[in-house]
A and B are shown apart, each in its own frame.
Chain A
Amino acid sequence: QKEVEQNSGPLSVPEGAIASLNCTYSDRVSQSFFWYRQYSGKSPELIMSIYSNGDKEDGRFTAQLNKASQYVSLLIRDSQPSDSATYLCAVSSGTASKLTFGTGTRLQVTL
């Protein structure tokens, strides 16, 4: 079982719709959760971080964390073509400083 799992996609949503990206993780002691966006050929950039159960909103982005289900998601409202990218879920466990990444979900926002 992979430590951090994501559906590779592509996930295709029309412009203006809500994109829902999901991630599950296997290490129950995981404490910090991150969503990074990576455009093709570019470096990952941090979109959201979440540390406690519930929702965290930042502009059009909402991260949701459910530690009991070992599940973290990212919602993108009013999706724009510029949101088309690969979204990487990353998890940090306990006192570890390294992040474990999923393989990413490729999002395509269509006109």
Chain B
Amino acid sequence: NAGVMQNPRHLVRRRGQEARLRCSPVKGHSHVYWYRQLPEEGLKFMVYLQKENIIDESGMPKERFSAEFPKEGPSILRIQQVVRGDSAAYFCASSRSGGSGANVLTFGAGSRLTVL
């Protein structure tokens, strides 16, 4: 499967714990995007990364959330001290390039976080 791989698909955490979501982009894609989808809402942009660099994090909450895309390995979205409001589906997408007009994103299956 050459698509975007996300894991875990489902994650349950208690309030205050940490959640780590992983994303491996399509082979050959060097641009990764994280989106969050709350129930009955649209996809909200969180962060855009290129290998080892955060390009745009304008959608990331200022606290508790961080993202990385190391030179080797998957992109990771990390949520510290989770709260119930963090319960959502987190989608990762990748693209070959990031320029305007080339934003054909391929989405992964998503990671569904439930905070108890």
Residue numbers of A with Cβ under 8 A of B are 4, 31-32, 34, 36, 42-46, 49, 51, 88, 90, 92, 94-104
Contacts and interface: CB of A to CB of B under 8 A. Distances in A.
B72 interface: no
Contacts of B100: 31-32, 92, 94-97
Contacts of A104: 42
Given A97-B48, A103-B41, 12 more contacts: A32-B101, A32-B103, A43-B91, A45-B107, A90-B43, A95-B99, A96-B56, A97-B98, A99-B43, A99-B105, A101-B43, A101-B45
B103 A99 contact: yes
B55 interface: yes
Interface residues of B, number: 27
Contact of A97 (B41, B59, B99, B107): B99
A102 B109 contact: no
Contacts, number: 68
Interface of B: 31, 33, 35, 41-45, 48, 55-56, 58-59, 91, 95, 98-101, 103-110
B56 A98 contact: yes
A90 to B, nearest CB: 8
Contact of A49 (B33, B44, B104, B110): B104
B42 A97 contact: no
Nearest to B43: A101
Given A44-B43, A98-B33, A102-B42, A51 B101 contact: yes
